[in-house]
């Protein structure tokens, strides 16, 4: 029988991308999609899926709050089982290692087809092991262990805020086997691209030494740069056009050579309207 799958993510483009990729994986049936944690809990209760792709960062009930509710008996299927959980996340590698230690799988955004296939294979193998009573730890034990680890990390966190890197006005960009110092105001946008951070100006295109967009944002002027989407940071001064998109969403047309179109996430629509009095 195919794996019954639910997708929960507050970004429509992320849901659609995952739906598209899963449609090309054998023995997978998507039985529901939601855009927040409350919908996730309801869908899991009514659809009794084998697997849930769960976004970590969502407004209201986030992914970790969903896990706590799943550990309650009333959210299990008729046989008392819990679904397998796969995090769809933009978290950095440090957080991802916490998931790995507890044998809860993850997918980093943007999604990769080969990595998704590995995840499906892992879920199938884990499900077979649990059904046969062999060595794989139960879903309950893995999720409970993950939540305890996250609580320990939160409790042990230093109350003293970490200092951000000093904003020098220059950003290092690796392009054409050279390390170039680019003035921030020249940057049109930065995006995640295959695990790297791509930086685009009107003249060049290269990669940053930063591992995440969060790390890059620490170096940028917050008055000039805006996180319009989980995968994109834009220079407000280099937005050429605001394009209405489907379902009341928007795209930004940038003024780089390719006039790249970048999506605006639903959570940032209010900020877009404030910026340009839409």
Question: Residue 24 is part of a domain; what is its CATH number?
Answer: 3.40.50.2300
| Same domain membership, residue 22 and residue 103 | yes
In a domain, 137, yes or no: yes
Q: Of 98, 125, 154, which residue is a domain's last? A: 154
pLDDT truncated to tens, each residue of the chain (278 aa)? 889 999 999 888 889 999 999 999 999 999 999 988 889 989 998 999 999 998 877 776 777 778 777 766 555 555 667 788 888 776 555 455 545 544 457 777 778 888 899 989 988 888 777 666 654 455 555 555 555 555 554 454 444 444 444 455 789 999 888 889 999 999 999 999 877 899 999 999 999 988 888 889 989 999 999 999 989 999 999 999 999 887 778 999 999 999 999 999 988 988 898 888 87
Contact 61, 41 (CB under 8 A): yes
In a domain, 164, yes or no: no
Q: Which domain holds residue 10?
A: 3-154
| Same domain membership, residue 139 and residue 21 | yes
In a domain, 163, yes or no: no
Closest by Cα among 185, 160, 181 to 170: 181
Closest by Cα among 14, 15, 6 to 41: 6
**CA dihedral defined by 156, 160, 165, 167, rounded to 10 degrees?**
140
Counting the structural domains of the chain, the total is 2
| Same domain membership, residue 112 and residue 24 | yes
Contact 172, 179 (CB under 8 A): yes
Tell me, what CATH number does 180's domain have?
2.40.50.1020
Neighbours of 36 (CB within 10 A): 17
pLDDT at 95: 53
> Helix or strand or coil: residue 156?
coil
Distance, in Å, from the CA atom of 19 to the CA atom of 35, rounded to the nearest integer, reads 13
């Amino acid at each position: 029988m195919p794996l019954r799958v639910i997708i929960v993510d507050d970004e429509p483009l992320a849901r659609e991308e995952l739906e598209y990729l899963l449609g090309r994986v054998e023995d997978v049936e998507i039985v529901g999609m939601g855009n927040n944690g409350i919908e996730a809990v309801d869908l899991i209760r009514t659809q009794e899926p084998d697997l849930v792709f769960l976004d970590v960062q969502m407004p209201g009930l986030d992914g970790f709050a969903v896990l706590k509710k799943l550990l309650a008996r009333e959210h299990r299927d008729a046989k008392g089982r819990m679904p397998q959980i796969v995090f769809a996340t933009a978290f950095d590698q440090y957080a991802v290692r916490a998931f790995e230690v507890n044998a809860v799988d993850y997918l980093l955004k943007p999604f990769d087809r080969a990595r998704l296939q590995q995840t499906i294979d892992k879920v199938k193998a884990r499900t077979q092991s649990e059904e046969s009573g062999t060595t794989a730890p139960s879903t309950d034990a893995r999720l409970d262990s993950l939540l305890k680890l996250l609580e320990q990390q939160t409790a042990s966190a230093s109350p003293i805020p970490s200092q951000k890197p000093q904003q020098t006005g220059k950003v290092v960009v690796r392009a054409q086997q050279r390390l170039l110092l680019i003035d921030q105001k020249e940057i049109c946008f930065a995006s995640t691209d295959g695990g790297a951070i791509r930086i685009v100006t009107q003249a060049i295109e290269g990669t940053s030494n930063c591992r995440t967009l969060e790390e890059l944002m620490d170096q940028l002027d917050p008055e000039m740069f805006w996180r319009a989407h989980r995968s994109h940071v834009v220079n407000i001064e280099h937005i050429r056009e605001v394009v209405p998109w489907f379902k009341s969403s928007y795209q930004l047309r940038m003024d780089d050579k390719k006039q790249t179109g970048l999506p605006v996430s639903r959570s940032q629509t209010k900020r877009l309207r404030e910026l340009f009095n839409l």
